[in-house]
Amino acid sequence: MSNSNGSDKNGEKSNPVDAAKRRAAFYCAEKHVSDGCHLGVGSGSTIKHFVDSLAERFKEGKLKNIVCVPTSIQTRQWLLEAGLPVSDVEQTPELDLCVDGADEIDPALNCIKGGGGCLTQEKIVQSCARRFIVVVDQSKKSSRLGEHYKSLPIEVVPFGYASVKRKIEASEGGKCVLRMAKQKCGPVVTDNNNYIIDWEIPKEGSKDWSALHTRLVVIPGVVETGLFIGVAERAYFGMEDGSVCELVKPGTTNGSSTSNGETCQQQACNGFGGRIVAPPTATNGS
């Protein structure tokens, strides 16, 4: 049985946020990944738990004939270490499903991604999938993009980063900061050998995020933005009490699990209108 109650593989308790990510990731994997699935696998700490769930079922013979297309070098390494079949978009250009995390997500399931610097490959893999599901902990929810995650990651060609910064600040306002590495001298370098600019989003309230993305990507030197607009069909939120909340894009029916779900409490789901699909864990006092 999958160990999705917040304990790590050694039986030791993880911190509450990590436990919430793990529960949501395990629920998503068990609900949506079946035999023969061609699967895009995202990046980040929540996705590590998703890989753990796939690996458990695969090794037990409960999940067969899947193919995993990673969105980063790190994810590829996790998949290989787990003994899962790995491919790429050249060999497997059409995917059934892509599952990824997010840095922020709004009630319409629009996302800001790119905190880990993998936004371009994440968007390529997502675009190859028929369905896209986001898995996060509840801290990633907001009423609008930019409410909690204050900057938008933008991948840029190194040669043009300075001109891109100037053009964005002149046309859109705010401030652009070249992301610097933590354990090396110099800027962060992506898997594509590019730089990341973090654009500190001006405080003007709501935006037409799709139009903003279009304006940004036509600037010479911009490779991709961290805006994922209108592409997610559902999201799973790991809650502090150990429950899992599902939010589904209106009109989505394929694989829906909301019909029998219990309506989320206003405080727990921040008015998102989602449903509890996995109850609180007993270890959290429920």
| Digit-coded pLDDT (tens) for 158-194 | 999 999 999 999 999 999 999 999 989 999 999 999 9
State the catalytic residues. Answer: 122
Residues in the chain: 286
Where is pLDDT greater, at 129 or 205?
129
Half-sphere exposure of 134 (CA within 13 A, CB side): 32
Please, which pLDDT band fits residue 203 given cuts at 50, 70 and 90? confident
The count of other CB atoms within 10 Å of the CB of residue 184 is 9
pLDDT given at position 271: 56
Please, which pLDDT band fits residue 251 given cuts at 50, 70 and 90? confident
Per-residue pLDDT, averaged over 250-262, amounts to 54
> What percent of the chain has pLDDT above 70?
85
DSSP characters for the chain? Answer: ----SSB-TTSPBPPHHHHHHHHHHHHHHHHH--TT-EEEE--SHHHHHHHHHHHHHHHTTSS-S-EEEESSHHHHHHHHHTT--B--TTT---EEEEEE--SEE-TT--EE--TTS-HHHHHHHHHTEEEEEEEEEGGGB-SSTTSSS-EEEEEE-GGGHHHHHHHHHHHH-SEEEEPBPSSSSSB---TTS-EEEEEE--S-----HHHHHHHHHTSTTEEEESEE-S--SEEEEE-TTS-EEEEE-TT--TT---TTPEEPPHHHHTT---EEEEPPPGGGT-
Please, which pLDDT band fits residue 252 given cuts at 50, 70 and 90? confident
pLDDT given at position 257: 42
Q: What value does the mean pLDDT of the chain take?
A: 89
pLDDT given at position 259: 38
How many whole angstroms separate alpha carbon 31 and alpha carbon 27?
A: 6
Q: One-letter amino acid identity for 213? A: H
pTM, two decimals, is 0.89
Please, which pLDDT band fits residue 2 given cuts at 50, 70 and 90? very low
How many whole angstroms separate alpha carbon 113 and alpha carbon 252?
A: 22
Under a CB-based contact definition with an 8 Å cutoff, are residues 71 and 101 in contact? no
pLDDT given at position 196: 98
Q: One-letter amino acid identity for 108? A: A
Phi, psi of 150 (to 5 degrees): -85, -5
Under a CB-based contact definition with an 8 Å cutoff, are residues 200 and 151 in contact? yes
pLDDT at 11 over 90: no
The answer to which of 4-13, 28-37, 148-157 has the lowest mean pLDDT is: 4-13
Per-residue pLDDT tens digits for 76-90: 999 999 999 999 999
